[in-house]
Amino acid sequence: MSFNVCGKSVKENDVIIVFMGHDSMFPLSVKEGEITQTKYGAIKHNSLLGHGYGTKFSCTKGWVYILQATPELWTLCLPHRTQILYTADIAMITLQLDLKPGSVVCESGTGSGSLSHAILRTVAPMGHLHTVEFNEGRCNKATAEFGEHGLSQYVTVYHRDVINEGFPVENAADAVFLDIPRPDEAVKVAAKALKTTGGRFCSFSPCIEQTQRTCATLRKPGSGFCEVETLELVRRSHNVKRVYIPIADIGIGDSEVRTALIKGENNTSSVLPCAYEAGDDMPVGEIIIRTTPENKDGLSSSKNPKRAKFDMSSSQISQGGGKSYEKGKTPPAATKYAFSTRTCILPKEIYGHTGYLTFATYRPGLSHKV
Amino acid sequence: MEDGIALNKTVILQRNNVLKAVKLIPEKVIVFERMRFKPENAIGLPFGSVFEVKNGDLNPVNSSLSLEEMETAGEDNRNLVDTHGKSQTLNRQDLIQMKEDGATGKEIVQSLVENSSSFAGKTVFSQKKYLKKKQKKHLAYLQLLKPTSRLICKLYQEREPAKICHMRIDSMSQLLTSTNVRHGSKVAVFETCSGLLLGMVLERLAGKGSIVNLHPGETPVNLFAVSHFNFPDEYWDNLHSLPLHKLAPLLAGNSFQSTFDESNKTTCESEVPLESNDSSTDIANENNSKLEIAIPLDIKAVENLNEKACNGPLKRKLSLSDKEKTAIRVERQKKRFNHQKAAWELLESRNMDALIVASRFHPTPIVLSLLEVLAVSKPFAIYFEYKEALMELFVRLSVSGAAINLQLTDTFMRQYQVLPERTHPHVMMRGHGGYLLTGIKVRPFSAQQEK
């Protein structure tokens, strides 16, 4: 079973992650005799047995990577039954709930088990997760998954409505997590489940109204909760790419113009730096000679642009544009030089909002601090 | 585990969201938020207990006292006129007098409201804000909390951000979670964050597993924060420190014996190995015995000495005989040597489960070498304050094919004020939390790898 204990090579019944790319990976439960189809060809499970984790596996039309399962990879490729929590929120919840081996956690609703797997990873082997789900189908699916992943001994799944029936334990939890439509109605039962010596509370709500109601309930005198705080996290991925920025022609190719500028008669010193004199500080990139014509958005598609020092005093400039133009022809808008650098490009669309995370400390017998 | 506030252990002090880590030493005055007190009265009480400070001692406070919002009436601010701070008739002297006469915080706030000419004309929200401000100043109590990762991270983020490479709490949490650190993990760490990450990892290992703590220089100076966690000795036994400059010899195939024989001239180290860019820190107790900071690995020896020190006035320097000093030093060296050997053997096996790097040094040479000791199919997470260095590393790793699922990320984090009719994000937020590069190792790094 991969999540809990994992060897160096694939064994029967292991849950592995087949990795074809960041956005295309899927989990696979290794069973003798079975075959799984991928876009790179068929994966015969028998061939997987004994295969080393972290290495390439050849299929008929290509290859994939076989990886050990972790809660983080599971989150990225688990079958969704509900909207799930992602790693940024999960990491913050783990830290804010003071989770560690031995922690006892109550969670509702189980949903698709994304957070559950992460909690189990952190609290095992001395801790336990009591997870409550009011949808029977999801309950059963979660139970089956925990079993397949070798985690059953650390988790109990309950089919109940936490608001009306409460959590299955009292005065036992170090932390309570809520991801339900009406978390404010579960504050009371959360307090009951938490140890009377104190604990931590977290509620995740996509909507601000739910968050407002929850905070108001937590802050009621006598609730037992204090140190209420709400935050949101947006994690974004940077795509590291090389870009080629063409250098426009400002007419500096003409040698007479150049000489006049250098002489500095009309205090034209501001123009010269734009021509990238030799020896100029270029810390972020370099000047190259573009070998392919400028495409529409100004990015060169050249794979191996020749690097060149743009030297004002050399004769290279006259080749770049200006005097060498033929009569009647329109000079190109850009010189043949470009500035090449690596930069981070952000994706066009990102997850801008997952939900509001509200945290609080449970300290019965104590008043709330606003 | 049931435990209460105890002597010679660290607690986290909290007042109005300001945190400080202090060790409770008998008879030793603690200074915090303009309060001075001795810890004795708190001993034995549960963590989270609330106190007020009176005459240099802690008084447990009736916990049913609440900061309720007083019911008020107000208007909108169309007729508001700036009174230039002259609307309050009570002055500072009056307040001091009231305090001396034994007025409670609640009474003081009440008086302030009654003596303010502009209060009635404020809007409801303005009045509540005013009350909250006055309550925060005159009514706030002190809490003694149990140290946890969450509190210590928050503490460093607020008080000593430069010491932790300006990591924000979300970056810290992601370093731990994305590397699957758990009970029994073997984790390789290179950090210059005062030991904060080491402490967080130790908390998640809970006594089983190991950390190889690579550190710049000869001695592991980055263990300050670890002592705040109050870990039992068994946890410390799993923390193996090794100088970073031993890494290349190890990877080159040198033996432990030969590498350490060469540099075996260490007969004495500096007494107080603080980080070179440390200015005086008030994170630990100001008068914290230097000996305690210098020997984090020798808890028993320190405690023995502490007992000795506690029987006399602390102002006097610990008077140890030369023999005792030498004995401690030898013991310390022996222990350090054993940990270095353990670290070496762990790295040599090239079978680590996780790699975490968060330092002020350029990550590329460190990561490319440390990836060698990570087993395949295992995750790594690198934090750096500026993205350029990570961009370079990203490209090298992806071109070489040494790692997959590479992601260079940063996180936007914002806190909210959630109050009825007054819900909005906090006006001020942290501008910057650093960058993270995460990935999974699939094969050793080689510059000439074919893709």
- E strand spans, A76-174: 104-108, 128-133, 155-159
Q: Name which of A98, A101, A356 is nearest B148 (Cβ-Cβ).
A: A98
pLDDT of residue A359: 98
Q: Give me the pLDDT at residue A268, please.
A: 53
Length of chain A: 370
pLDDT of residue B445: 72
- pLDDT bin (cut points 50, 70, 90) of residue A337 is confident
Q: Do the beta carbons of residue A186 and residue A162 sit within 8 Å?
A: yes
Summarised one tens digit per residue, pLDDT across range B24-39 is 999 899 999 888 899 9
Among B46, B66, B376, beta carbon nearest to A368: B66
Chains A, B: CB pairs < 8 Å: 172
Chain B residue closest to A122 (CA)?
Answer: B182
Q: Which residues of B touch A366 (CB under 8 A)?
A: 48, 50, 63
**B236 pLDDT above the threshold of 80:** yes
Give the minimum alpha-carbon distance from B346 to chain A in angstroms, rounded to a whole number.
Answer: 17
Distance CA A85, CA A355 (A): 9
Q: A53: which chain B residues are within 8 Å (Cβ-Cβ)?
A: 376-377
When pLDDT is averaged across residues B269-289 and rounded to a whole number, the result is 38
Cα–Cα dist B243/B336, whole Å = 11
Cα–Cα dist B222/B234, whole Å: 19
| List of residues 6+ apart from A126 with CB closer than 8 A | A101, A102, B183, B206
Chain B residues lying within 8 Å of A55, measured CB to CB? 376, 442-443
Tokens in use for A258?
């150049």
What residue in A sits closest to B168 (Cα-Cα)? A92
Question: Is A53's CB within 8 Å of B377's CB?
Answer: yes
Identify any residues that bridge with A173 across adjacent strands, giving them in sequence order. Answer: A194
Taking an 8 Å cut-off on Cβ atoms, the answer to whether A368 and B67 are in contact is yes
**Residue B281 above 60 pLDDT?**
no
pLDDT in tens, A39-71: 888 999 999 999 999 999 998 888 899 999 999
> Residues B355-380: what's their mean pLDDT?
96
Compute, in degrees rounded to 10, the torsion defined by CA atoms A97, B234, B41, B66.
0
Residue A69's alpha-carbon distances to A154, A289, A319, B313, in angstroms, are: 17, 47, 58, 57
pLDDT-based confidence at B282, cuts 50/70/90? very low
Q: Kindly report the length of chain B.
A: 451
Whole-number Å distance between alpha carbons of A36 and B70: 66
User: Does the beta-carbon distance from B47 to A198 stay under 8 Å?
Assistant: yes
Alpha helices in B42-104, H assignment, sequence order:
92-100
d(C-alpha B431, C-alpha B226), whole Å: 27
Contact (CB<8Å) B416/A230: yes
> Once rounded to an integer, what is the mean pLDDT over residues B86-96?
82
8 Å CB contact of B413 and A211: no
Mutate to test the interface with B, among A18, A22, A53, A72 (most CBs of B within 10 A): A72
Give the C-alpha separation, A307 to A290, whole Å.
9
Please give the pLDDT value at position B318. 58
B180 and A121 within 8 Å at the Cβ level: the answer is yes
Segment B225-233 mean pLDDT: 94
pLDDT of A112 over the 80 cut: yes
Q: For helices B196-205 and B149-159, give the axis angle rounded to 10 degrees.
A: 170
Domains of chain A: 15-69 (3.10.330.20), 75-235+352-362 (3.40.50.150), 240-344 (no CATH)
Assembly ipTM = 0.85
To the nearest whole angstrom, how far is the Cα of B108 from the nearest Cα of chain A? 18
Mutate to test the interface with A, among B129, B183, B234 (most CBs of A within 10 A): B183
Distances (CA, A) of B411 to A119, B174, B432: 21, 10, 9
Which chain A residue is nearest to residue B413, measuring alpha carbons?
A233
pLDDT at residue number A302: 41
- A353 vs A264 pLDDT, higher one: A353
- Does the global pTM surpass 0.80? yes
**Nearest CA-CA distance, residue A8 and chain B, Å:** 9
Q: What is the mean pLDDT of chain B?
A: 82
Nearest to A370 by CA among B129, B352, B96, B446: B129
Using CB atoms, which residue from B391, B405, B420 is nearest to A342? B391
Give the pLDDT of residue B446.
67
